[in-house]
Every structure is written in C-alpha cells, then in structure tokens.
Structure 1
C-alpha cells in the first residue's frame, strides 16, 4: 500500500503536498492503517487477506484521486482513466512532437514565459524525488538533448539547471555527447537536424542586418554556441546563437577580426587561423576562443600566412590545411599543426592535396572552395569535389588513400554548396541537386569503418538554394 505523501509528491510536487491539509492526510493514513494493518492480514485466510488488500488499494486510489479533485477545483475535471500527472505533462510534450520547430526541444525562452505565469513551485533542490541532487543530474544527463525543453518546463529549478549549462558540463565529464548538424540555405535562416532522432528544428531568425546578409560568412560551433562571422559596412561582426537560451545575440569579435580563415572546435574551445583582414591582407595570426568565458586569446603565429584554408582537431592538436599564400595564387600543399601543450606550430610538407599530385594544384585555387575535410574518431577525411571521391589521410605515411565515391546527388559548384563534416562516428554530406525551380537538401551519412563508403540517406528537405554554411555542435 502506498503512502499518501508519496502519491502527492509524484503527482503534484512538494507544493501540493504542503497545501493538502495535514490533518486530513493523517486521518486517511490512520484509517487505512486500521483497516490494513498486519493483524488483519494474519487473522484472515491468505485469499481473503489478498482480497482486502486489493479492495483497500482501490479505496486508497479513489480517496487520493478525490482529494486531488478537491485541491484542483479550479481546473477541468479529469477524464475517465486520465491520470493528473498526464494532464500536466501534456502541454510540453505536444511541442516535442512538432516537426520543423525548435519549440519543446530547446526553446527555453517559451518555457521561461510559461513558468513566470505559474505560481511559485517548490525549489526541489534534489530535482528528482528521493534522489540526491548530484544523482538527479547524472540521471538527467542520459536524456536526449531533444528532451531538455520538456524537462525545463517541469519547474523553475529544472529550467535553471538546463539554462545554466551545468548539465552539459556533467555530460562532457561523463563522455556523453550528441551531435546535431546546423546549416543555412538562406543568408539569415538556420536549421538544425538531429541525425539520431531524424528531427528538423528551425532556429529563430537572425537579427536583421542588410550588410551582414550579403557578406561572405564563416560558421563555427563550440560548446553550446554557434558563431557566425561576417561583415558590416567597414568592420567585421560576430553573431552568436546560444543553444541554452535559444536566442541570437552579438558575439565578441576576435582580437584581429578576419574572414576566409580555417577553424575547428574541441569541446568548449575553438581555434581560428589565417584568413584576411578588412584590407585584404593575408594573415598568419591565430586565436583561441573559450566558449565558457566568451573570450579570445592570441596564440603564436603560423609559419606561413594563408587564406581559404581549413582547420581540424586530430588527437587534440589543431591542423591548418591548404589555403592560398602570399607568394602565388596556387593552393598551398603544406599544412601546419599547433600543439596546445607546447604552444608551438610545426610545418607538415606535402600534406595536401589528397590527389597526391595527380592534378595541378593550381586548379584548386581558381574559384574553388577551401579544402572539404572532416574528422571522425581522430581520422582525417577529405572530399574531392572534382573527382567526386572520398579519401582518408594516413598520418604515419603522410599520404592520402582513396576510399570510394561521394553520394551521387551531392552537387556543388567548385566545392561550394555542399558540406562535408564529421558528426560523432559518422561522416555526413549535406547538399543536393539544385535548379532554377528549386531543389532538395539531402543529408547522407556513413558510419566510418573498413572498406568503401556506404552512404545512408538520413533525410531530405526542399530548398530554394544550396548550403551556405554548416557546423556540427556536439554537447
């Protein structure tokens, strides 16, 4: 037989438990105890004791249900067979089921409005009833990111936990990471795709800025933030999308603002290197960004200035690959690697291109996109948009091995218009056929392993344009 206090805590939280008259609760417990005590069970045959226990359970359930009806007389009556907790949970769960929207998944701004209109709820410092707070947080860390909007709707304590970022720091320590793909097919609109639940989510519209809209942009996901870099009339600007609050804001500019740089992230830090300043001067400088503090820190310069390059983290070291230097307009074949512990750069000769010199490297620089590279399980992959092939880098031998073909419908214009990214243990290619009447965005994935790529079509979506920018956020 359950306890009244337990039942109340599960259905209505501590607030309702406090509002329920103590004398009535004690009276019900006393009456049930008198009817159900061990002495009665011992005096009756087993089958009769079982029957009475069942009858008392039914009585207890009815009594508790009626008590809740009395407490909630300002709400609609429960329908036949409906549980009070089900009614309370129905609203946030409806958001969770809607496609093409972020609400109910991580639209915490909506949650905030709803919570402010509710009466003060218990602080529930333990979060989950009868569990210590640290154990409650560890349990919640195993929930999907898609569920955190609904979790935040429980009460202010849960919302505070989600928005503080504490849960994501715990997940990081526990090695729990979910990767979502963020991409833009329109200059000021972004969408996210959850490759594990196959869900599309639309982010809020970026702040209106006509100059920024038509400028070249770079994007970078770090920690729980998405950074989008672009230009205003005479200066650079950064917009930051915060996953925790589901809002856009103006971010912090680099110490030396730039565009056309190489970049990559590792947990809550990211590094950008090279690129050009507002005068078009090609840079060799590099900076490290910390998403926890929203600060930029200058690190030593690379050996060679370069723009139109790509970046990647491999074995916790930052690589800058390809790009165009000052000496000539051809694509640089050397790469550089930055050791965070030693705080030094090292040149790696002849690391790029992945064709191993079969075609003149100058062809890469004529209107072509920066190298399409991605890292999965600390292995580096590259997409050759001319040959429509995928290659893998052999770190020991400093050479590239052709693995197989890209997805058939991953169209591009000299490498522009598609994205080639690492997403957890998968390589993903985002792109698709386009024409004057519109086209499709396709997301293809391959779980890397031995043998040629076997692409799996995860999702398709109509689009009037190709992919402008793309980033993968893991948290």
Structure 2
C-alpha cells in the first residue's frame, strides 16, 4: 500500500482485522491435532492487526495511502492515539509519503467557518468547504492567526481559540490567550504554541500546551508591538516587525507620519526589527534588524531560514535570515529575488500579504485588497487580477512561480500549511 492506487478491498481488510473474528471459537474439550494446512489457517485467524505491538502497527499505518488517512482515527481509540504520535509522522517522512497541504481559513460574522485546501504538488484546484459553527464569539477572530500542530490547525483570536481537524473537519472551542491580543505574532516551537505582541496592556509572552489545553506566561517581551509576525527556527521564537504600542497616535500606537516628536524614528525601528526568544533557555537573544529599512509586511520560516517580505512604499524586497544556530552563518541576512508581482498590482495600504512555509517552499498570498479597485483609482480601464494572487518561491532553486489563485468564495483568509 505505497500509493493512492491501493484498492478499498485491502483497506477494508486492514480495518476489519482490528477486531476479533466472532466466528472463531475455542473447542471446549481442548485442541485437536492440526494438519499443516489447518495450522496455517488458524495462525492467520489469530494474528490480526490488533494483536501487533505499537511499533509494528505504526509501521503498517504509516504506509496507508494519503486518501485513506482521514478514516483511520475512526477505527478505534488506539489507532487515533497512534496517528497523533510523532513516530507516525517520522515514519511517513521516512517512507517519502508526507504531503504538505496549504489551508486557508475564513470566519464570517454569521458563525460560518470556510476552509480551502490545496496540495501544491498533487492538485490543480482548491477544495472549498464551509459549515456553521454554533458559537457566539466568532467576532473575536476578525484578526486571527493560524498555526498547525500535526493535522490540527489552531485558529487563535483575541481571547478565544478554535482547533480545526483537517481530517474530520471538526472544530472545537478552546481557551484563548489570557491577554487580549490583536494582530500578534505566533509560532510553534517543540510542539507548543507561543504568542507575543498585539496587547497594549502587557508585554507577556504566552505558551499554550496542547496536551493540557492551558496557557501560561513564560516571559516578558523587550518591546510592545502591534501588527507583528511570528516564526520559529531551531528552537527560537521570532517576533518580527509591527508598530510600537505606546501613548502616541491612534489606539495607543506610534504610527508612521504622526507629528509627535520621535514617533517616525520609533515606528521605523519597530517596523524593521526582529526579537529572538530562546524557548529552551527562556531567554532573549540579541535583537536583529531587517536590512533595507523597509516595513515588514509578511514573514515565515522554511528550510532553516526566516523569510521576510518588506515594503518600501512603491516596491517590495525579500530577505532570508539564517536561523541555524550551530552553523557558521547564523545571523546572516541575504537579499533574494523579490516576488514578481503582476504589473496591475499597485502597492498601497489596501494590499496585504500572507507568507506561509509549505515544505521547502514559501507561498505568498495576497489576502486582502482588490486589484480591480486599485486599477479604477489609478484611471486604468483594463481588468486586472482579483485578490487572492498566489506566488510560490522555491527555496532550493530561488525561482518564483505562479500558483493557483485563492478561490473567490474564501477571501480575506488566514493561511497555514499542514504536513501529514
């Protein structure tokens, strides 16, 4: 069963063999002498997959074709727990069966949760689904952030969180961060979720443990940021860009262009800075500055690097930071080829980007702003590209390519990748 061409007959045997055979009975007067043929038949009846130890069972489950994976947790609790283990993930990687899928999630004010998924190397169109979530707090997710652990996506709002299972489509309500946050940084380090920034009242960095489903404060950030981005490489939580939260400007923010003394300089420093938190050592490393002096508009981590997209009002620059702490190049910046935006795209405050690592690739998604509107404002009459533009950067070759545009049914979405 090494490909998706595996037929359902073999898979049905795999599931049925997890349960005892009800037609097999022991003779009340003891065993009868067995012929070689009958002994082999009895051995086949007694050796079911449920009798295998965990390591052998995991070896079998790890070879199941990708299309059958969503059904496996439904067989029994034991299978469900094994499928959540790191060993299952490692075996899938060893057998070269892992697939990385890009997910976009949008939550409306009408208690509707919409998702779209795309497996870059195997699919040519997004798969869209939508369902109602019976909850009165979905407005808290207007500026949510997404992270993924295993097959589950965590949608983190201001004070609430949803856990979405990409296999079953089930969404479960969970407690959100203790501090109310908006447009904050988040990333996963060693199987736990970390959030920082987006809170005017506290510099607290919080950690979420999926096993205990609890939040706790682990540190105080060196700066209060709003609109920042998160990434993680080699055990370090990166808090990147954003605006300074202070006493100046609207909503307590120091904003570029304000007339307050020193506000332009403060906004510039925060917009291009990066703080590094060593999770294992519980300490902050030396902060870094993104070269070029632009404003960070998107960031993610892939292939041992932190990738940062910066805006310079009329153009974009693209950088990568070496996050491998044991390498001689740790801490070095490299300017790489900027995304080749179509000529119709005019950068302004209405255009937003999402940056997601998908395996050894970086996917850039235009998640808000309408290019048609920009064309009308610029006086151009030809139709441009709609929002949802997807560009893919190959970390190995350094090449950009055009991806499949985000579906019209799920605009203004937050994006994340899931590997299984």
The normalised TM-score by structure 1 is 0.61
The counterpart of 1:171, out of the listed 88, 101, 112, is 88
Per the alignment, residue 446 of structure 1 pairs with: 393
Alignment CA distance shift 1:284-1:416 (3 Å): farther
2:310 is equivalent to residue 341 of structure 1: no
Alignment CA distance shift 1:14-1:140 (3 Å): closer
* In 1: Cα distance, 2:134 partner to 2:21 partner: 48
Query: What is the aligned length?
Result: 349
Q: Deviations over 1:396-424 (max 9, x none)?
A: 48564332131435957547543211111
Per the alignment, residue 119 of structure 2 pairs with: 194
Q: Is the 8 A contact 1:179 1:194 kept in 2?
A: yes
Alignment CA distance shift 1:221-1:473 (3 Å): farther
Q: Is the 8 A contact 1:429 1:445 kept in 2?
A: yes
Per the alignment, residue 19 of structure 1 pairs with: 23
Q: CA deviation at 1:241?
A: 1.4
| Greater strand fraction, Structure 1 or Structure 2 | 2
Q: Is the 8 A contact 2:107 2:142 kept in 1?
A: no
| Greater helix fraction, Structure 1 or Structure 2 | 1
The residue matched to 2:61 in structure 1 has which SS?
helix
Per the alignment, residue 115 of structure 1 pairs with: none
Q: Deviations over 1:143-186 (max 9, x none)?
A: 45542124456xx34xx345335444322454735432221356
Q: Is the 8 A contact 2:72 2:80 kept in 1?
A: no
The residue matched to 1:283 in structure 2 has which SS?
coil
The residue matched to 2:337 in structure 1 has which SS?
strand
Per the alignment, residue 161 of structure 2 pairs with: 238
CA RMSD, 1 decimal: 4.1
Q: Deviations over 1:266-324 (max 9, x none)?
A: 35212101112xxxx25311011122222212111011211211111122211111121
* In 1: Cα distance, 2:20 partner to 2:192 partner: 44
* In 2: Cα distance, 1:282 partner to 1:413 partner: 30
Alignment of 1:12-411 (within 5 A): 13=17, 18-19=22-23, 126-127=49-50, 132-143=53-64, 145-152=66-73, 156-157=75-76, 160-164=77-81, 166-174=83-91, 176=93, 178-184=99-105, 187=108, 188-198=113-123, 200-203=126-129, 205-208=131-134, 212-213=138-139, 216-224=142-150, 225-230=152-157, 236-243=159-166, 245-276=168-199, 281=200, 283-326=202-245, 328-329=254-255, 330-331=267-268, 332=270, 333-349=272-288, 351-352=289-290, 354=291, 356-357=292-293, 364=295, 371-385=297-311, 386-393=314-321, 396=329, 400-409=333-342
* In 2: Cα distance, 1:314 partner to 1:379 partner: 7
Q: Which structure would you say has the larger RCO, counting Cα contacts within 8 Å and 6 or more residues apart?
A: 2
The counterpart of 1:425, out of the listed 351, 354, 360, is 360
Alignment CA distance shift 1:189-1:142 (3 Å): same
Q: Is the 8 A contact 1:125 1:133 kept in 2?
A: no
Alignment CA distance shift 1:286-1:464 (3 Å): same
Q: Is the 8 A contact 1:446 1:456 kept in 2?
A: no
Gaps of 5+ in 1: 1-7, 24-28, 34-121, 365-369
Q: Is the 8 A contact 2:82 2:88 kept in 1?
A: no
Q: Deviations over 1:49-104 (max 9, x none)?
A: xxxxxxxxxxxxxxxxxxxxxxxxxxxxxxxxxxxxxxxxxxxxxxxxxxxxxxxx
Alignment CA distance shift 1:191-1:206 (3 Å): farther
* In 2: Cα distance, 1:15 partner to 1:398 partner: 54
Rg larger for: 1
Q: CA deviation at 1:440?
A: 6.3
- Show structure 1 runs of 4+ deviating over 6 A: 8-12, 20-23, 122-125
Alignment CA distance shift 1:322-1:124 (3 Å): farther
Gaps of 5+ in 2: 1-11, 28-33, 38-44, 247-253, 256-266, 324-328, 374-382
* In 1: Cα distance, 2:280 partner to 2:411 partner: 39
Q: Is the 8 A contact 2:105 2:410 kept in 1?
A: no
* In 1: Cα distance, 2:136 partner to 2:100 partner: 31
